[in-house]
Chains A and B, each alone.
Chain A
Amino acid sequence: MASQLSFTGFAWKNLWRRRLRTLLTLVGITMGIGAFVALVGFSRAFEHEWMRMYTSSGIDIAVVQSNILNSSIDESLATKIGAVPNVAEVAPMIFNLMDLTPEVNALVYGWRANSYELDSLTLLSGHRFHDGSPEILLGDLLASNLGKKTGDMLSIQGTNFTVVGIFHGGSALEAGSVIMPLDQMQIVAGMEGKVTAFHVKLRPAPTGESYDEYVRRASAAIEAALPGTRAFPAAERAANNSIVVLAHSVAWGTSAIALLIGILGIANTMAMSVFERTREIGILRALGWKGRHVILLILTEATALGFAGGLLGIGAGWGALRLLSTLPQTASIVSATVSPLHLLESLVIAIASGLLAGAYPAWRGARLSPVEALRYE
């Protein structure tokens, strides 16, 4: 039986004839998709961990300053928030990303010793801290990375703290974090009398009202009672807090640049390929290939590059995430979990990149006059 030539087989032969160029192009798109999988995957996992933290702590609403240029809010407003109907508990808090050692940074929280948020943590050793004391609780992942145990000392921003307990939390963010008394955090962060946000726990929703509607109604009541503040449902706050927003921005920005480089790589390869194959395209046109056949051939080649680069990029990005999730510097804020939807999205972007990059060379190839192309030297 003679070998059969299929359309895709023909496209593959065209790509394989310039192996080195094809492989280099693949490296470009692999890096772009790898960056997208790793960075955007990281930022989404980061947001997901925030949501898990809110959920496990029982937080319903986060109250912050409405002025985006001012990230702090007076601690004294806690009393007014507590007076709003349906508010069960109010926990003023500060959070910040801090360098603990030259190699390790972590989220540091300032909570009151009686905060309801502490109730969701499982103490593996030691006890809770006391307000007014230089004491801290360490998440188990961070304690392991730092090699600290209960009773050890840890210097944060020039102040020595005693590790009074090791805990396990409901999210990777907590497992890799430090929690200290709010008043101590205010000193360390230079925010005396101020907090980053209030975490509000509501009374149970009345029968007949959905949770989302109940939270929205309570948020509106808080904003009405405290002009100049914004009250976000926890899910919304998980997505829009400054660290998550920064992570999303950096991830998308960096990925976009990497993807653009990958797309330009494919476009360059396909443009060169069409240029080099001018006479061959002329032959195909002489044999009766329609312009759309030429477009289909070139787009098949470009899409194959995008698809292969996408698969390799997913592998590379996932590998990078797994590596980051094991490094002490990043383990506390990176999860190796990547959602299937994100992988599918990455593959779709890779294929779309191929189509986009191949569009112009394909159009150019289809427009070649058969006789002019045959004369091409």
Chain B
Amino acid sequence: MSSPLGAGSPISARGPILEACGLVKSYDEGRVEALRGVDVKIDAGEYVAISGPSGSGKSTLLHLLGGLDTATHGQVFYKGSELGKAVDLDSYRSRQVGFIFQAFYLLPTLRAVENVQVAMLAVNQKANHRAERAAALLEELGLEARMKHFPNQLSAGERQRVAIARALANDPAMLLADEPTGNLDSVNSAHIMEILRGIREQRGMTMIIVTHENDIAHNAPRHIRIRDGRIES
């Protein structure tokens, strides 16, 4: 049996998987502009770090790329098809994107293994397949003894590993992580980044990480700096 972390077929043909054109995101009837015309192209299998000061718009950009939000102006294309028009956002989030958040966002009433399965409820997987895959993912992430624990019974590092398993549940093409180590100590932070690096190498999957930590940003093959809603470099 192949590893659940590497269950997907590696992407061989490199080319743009995501392309953002002229992204503008404004709030409060245009009085606040989080993004002011962002163009970015991300190739399949690429590992990109996005950094910038607080309020620079890096998380907003990640949300737009991940289909969590829609732009005020501009478009995002996934494999050449426009999100929200040619590509249904819900299906895109459930099948093509795995999200990892700083605050983990696990559901408190569900056990670890159930938190992983909840992502698969959206894609009509069979119940036994859901349970088996969730267990296998947690096992790969070293949580075989913590599967039946509730989030409040897990350490911060363990919670983030459960969130990573959940993000991989539907075998997505991309992992989008918003400050994945922001709530972790240095040891757990290093462990989580090691896991993410392993996943990317095994799968060759596209990974976009928003971070304010220089180490993480500089270790990425591509580093996008964003300031005041615009890409600096």
Contacts and interface: CB of A to CB of B under 8 A. Distances in A.
B7 interface: no
Interface residues of B, number: 36
B132 A2 contact: yes
B119 interface: yes
A127 to B, nearest CB: 74
A100 B131 CA distance: 69
Contacts of A374: 68, 101, 105
Contacts of A369: 69
Do most interface residues of chain A lie in helix, strand or loop, or is the interface mixed? helix
A4 B68 contact: no
Interface stretch (B13-21, B75-83, B109-117, B197-205): B109-117
Nearest to A9: B114
Do most interface residues of chain B lie in helix, strand or loop, or is the interface mixed? helix
Contacts of A10: 110, 114, 118, 121
Given A17-B109, A286-B93, A286-B105, A3 B131 contact: yes
Nearest to A282: B105
A7 B121 contact: yes
Given A288-B170, A370-B69, A5 B110 contact: yes
B122 A287 contact: yes
Interface in A3-20: 3-7, 10, 13-14, 16-17
Interface residues of A, number: 28
B127 interface: yes
A203 interface: no
Interface string B159-187: 00000001000100000000000000000
A314 B36 CA distance: 62
Contacts of B114: 3, 5, 10
Contact of A2 (B97, B135, B166, B170): B135
Contacts of B130: 4-5
Interface string B91-133: 1111101010100010101110110011101110001101110
B121 A290 contact: no
What 6 A-B pairs come out closest when comparing CB atoms?
A288-B94, A2-B135, A288-B93, A5-B117, A5-B114, A371-B69
